Amino acid sequence: MSRRTVVVVGAGPAGLSAARAAARAGADVTLLDASDQVGGQFWRHRALPGGGTAPDEPTFHHGWGTFTALRDVVATHPRVTLLTSAQVWALERLDAGVRLRVLVGPADGAGREHLTLTPDALVLATGAHDRTLPFPGWQLPGVTTAGAAQALAKAERVAVGDRVVVAGAGPFLLPVASSLLRTGARVLSVHEAATPASMARGWGARPAGLLGAAHKAGELGGYVGTLARHRVAYRLGEAVVAARGDGRVEEVTVARVDARWSPVPGTERTVAADAVCVSHGFTPRLELAVAAACAISPDRFVVVDDEQRTSAAGVWAAGELTGIGGAEAALAEGWVAGHHAASGAPDDAGLARAARRRARSADFARRLDAAHGIRGGWTSWLRDDTLVCRCEEVDAGTLRAAACATGSADLRSVRLTSRAGLGPCQARICGRTVAELVGATEPAPGGDTGSAPAVPDRRPLVVPVRLGDLATLPDVPAADAP
Amino acid sequence: MSATSQGAGPRPLTITLDGRPFAGTEGQTIAGMLLAARRRSWRTTSVESAPRGVFCGIGVCFDCLVTVNGSRDVRACLRRAADGDVVETQHDPLPGVTS
């Protein structure tokens, strides 16, 4: 009778691909994104009046043509409803399926419109955000994540500074440096913590093996070429270990690090800079998956099967939420997830192609971790007065004292004693760092679906909601049907 | 495939931060406008009264909160500026903490 309804949360590569596949398989699809544009972080772009495209837009992106094709499908397909500026702020489990609470309107605005959705199937494609390890002075204005620099360059052509140092770990540092150069910033240097030996372990000894898939290697080769043309040094086995300045960053300390990322004494040098962009990897946005009781792996990704199905009935997941695989993998995973969420035919030719593309990317996360995964020695660049929780301004010394005082590695008591992770960001920035610093135990392998997973990713309210908005929340009958 | 905007281009707009005008164009975020004018910080933290501006740039860290047209705790990196927006910096000292 009525068609199967699929809600896709997140309109980046995975979500766009999932929405298209689900619609193609015959479902009625609602695609939600908190931003007022589609594309996610990967295809974040200038917002021009009338939905126009800036002439230089393709130069900031890979696969821009893939994006515009997907964007046009979700904007025009008769079975796709696209809702932007739509923030899912809560997910409730029902006897069958889930209920999503959504606010539609300007970011953090008052008086946004309420929307409640109870789809037959849910595809989570909420992506990931930067993970930045703390270092002395990282709270100074001018120190940003690499993702912030990328977002401002892609969306507004604004450079975060004039003289910029890029540092951290992972291939993502290269496109960030490239975008900064395009926006007119002077990139002084790029410091990759991974040593040449661990780079070789992950990507192979020869540069051609850098990213496995041939086009990925070409993509990165292009960035390296851009850096070389601008005489930007790309230095391996180095880290920004401190930032200093009066009210804003004015200089940073760069040091060589060993294979465990411990700074090598005597190698420190000072670099004058007015911006520092630092990221050490990505961490998935797990709130909705955790609220839906999806099993989470020990390394904090959503566990999915071959059909991208999570352990929660009626919930699929795709993209960075299931492992840091890059946009190609996200597109393929989204295809598979959307198709199955829509109960598409198992012998579909497009599905088979997507599954093959997914298989080609399967090795990426393992290689990425082998080459660039965070090594424990980084904690030796912390001082007692180094802030760990930026919101509540809790430093490493206080945190360690709290861990000693509570006499346990129980994350909850450490957080309540020190207040680390209890501020507005709800431990999104410091959660994993705090857990690692106090030696908190990770959840059981395979995710303990029955009980609450480790504290940091459990946020019943996905984003802060104004009391006024809660007051206007429409009642939902207890026995409502979709 | 997609329209290009060769013509008029984005319209200029002006906002104020604590009464001081900042110019930008339609489609920019409040944080983007401030950063483009080389303003690096606007919020003041509660414990150490320290300056903060953009950190994550994508709505995750809540460092860049501002008051917009009387509405508190708006993430400046997410909110698109509208012409005439009255933006104010935020500082909420903790009780008993001198600032």
pLDDT for the residue numbered A452 = 39
Q: Among candidates B58, B64, B53, which has minimal Cα distance to A128?
A: B58
pLDDT for the residue numbered B5 = 42
Residues, chain A? 482
CB contact under 8 A, A158 and B45: no
CA distance A204 to A210: 6
User: Contact at 8 Å (CB) between B41 and B51?
Assistant: yes
Q: Among candidates B5, B28, B46, B55, which has minimal Cα distance to A145?
A: B55
CB contact under 8 A, B56 and A147: yes
Chain A (214-233) residues lying within 8 Å, Cβ to Cβ, of chain B:
none
Domain boundaries along the sequence of chain B: 12-88
What are the tokens at A54? Answer: 């800036």
Q: Does B67 touch chain A (CB under 8 A)?
A: no
CA distance A428 to A392: 13
CA distances (Å), origin A54, targets A38, A49, B6: 15, 10, 8
Q: Among candidates A166, A169, A171, which has minimal Cα distance to A218?
A: A171
pLDDT, greater one: B23 or A404: B23
pLDDT for the residue numbered A214 = 46
Chain A residues lying within 8 Å of B45, measured CB to CB: 393
pLDDT for the residue numbered A449 = 37
Q: Does B45 touch chain A (CB under 8 A)?
A: yes
Q: Does B77 touch chain A (CB under 8 A)?
A: yes
CB contact under 8 A, B47 and A47: no
Task: Pick out chain A residues at pLDDT < 50.
Answer: 208-209, 211-214, 441-453, 455, 478-482
Chain B residues lying within 8 Å of A425, measured CB to CB: 60-63
Chain A residues lying within 8 Å of B36, measured CB to CB: 156, 158
CA distance B63 to B15: 20
Q: Which residues, 6+ apart, have CB-to-CB distance to A25 below 8 Å?
A: A338, A339, A342, A343, A344, A345, A348
C-alpha distance from B86 to closest chain A C-alpha (Å): 14
C-alpha distance from A140 to closest chain B C-alpha (Å): 7
Which CATH topology does A5-129+283-344 take? FAD/NAD(P)-binding domain (3.50.50)
- The H-or-E segment that residue A397 falls in is helix A396-406
pLDDT for the residue numbered A482 = 43
Q: Check if CATH label 3.40.50.300 holds for domain A132-280.
A: no
C-alpha distance from A156 to closest chain B C-alpha (Å): 6
User: Contact at 8 Å (CB) between A421 and A402?
Assistant: no
Chain B residues lying within 8 Å of A130, measured CB to CB: 56
Between chain A and chain B, how many beta carbons pairs sit less than 8 Å apart?
Answer: 143
ipTM: 0.92
Q: Does B43 touch chain A (CB under 8 A)?
A: no
C-alpha distance from B96 to closest chain A C-alpha (Å): 16
User: Contact at 8 Å (CB) between B50 and B44?
Assistant: yes
Q: Check if CATH label 3.10.20.440 holds for domain B12-88.
A: yes
- Out of A130, A144, A391, name the one closest to residue B54 (CB): A144
Q: Does A184 touch chain B (CB under 8 A)?
A: no
CB contact under 8 A, A108 and B3: no
Which tens digit of pLDDT belongs to each residue from B33-56? 999 999 999 999 999 999 999 999
CA distance A284 to B18: 36
What are the start and end residues of each CATH 3.50.50.60 domain in chain A?
5-129+283-344, 132-280
Residue B63: closest C-alpha in chain A: A391
